């Protein structure tokens, strides 16, 4: 069975949003909490605001790029 990929949004300190791609949302959230990524080392994540499954990594990366182009308001409505 192919491995699922996800595009996800984190709500971070100061109510900022971080968008990323992973094949394990909970593991990646834990990594962000340990401050292993540049942005989240300065803006610790508070919660997973959204996660969307994708069938391939390529699809997840395309969706991530699309979401990153959205306004904050649209991201929050997703």
Q: pTM here?
A: 0.90
Are the beta carbons of 15 and 26 closer than 8 angstroms?
A: no
14 pLDDT band, cuts 50/70/90, is very high
Alpha-carbon dihedral sign for residues 45, 26, 66, 38: positive
What pLDDT is recorded for position 1? Answer: 53
CATH of 5-77, one of 3.40.1440.10, 3.30.200.20, 2.60.40.650, 3.90.226.10: 3.40.1440.10
pLDDT digit string (tens) for 20-69?
999 999 999 999 988 766 888 889 999 999 999 999 999 999 999 999 99
């Amino acid at each position: 069975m192919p491995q699922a990929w996800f595009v996800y949004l984190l709500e971070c300190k100061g109510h900022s949003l971080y968008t990323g791609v992973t094949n394990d949302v909970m593991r990646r959230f834990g990594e962000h909490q340990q401050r292993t990524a540049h942005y989240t080392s300065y803006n610790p994540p508070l919660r997973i605001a959204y996660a969307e499954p994708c069938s391939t990594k390529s699809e997840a990366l395309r969706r991530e790029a699309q979401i990153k182009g959205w306004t904050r308001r649209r991201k929050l409505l997703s």
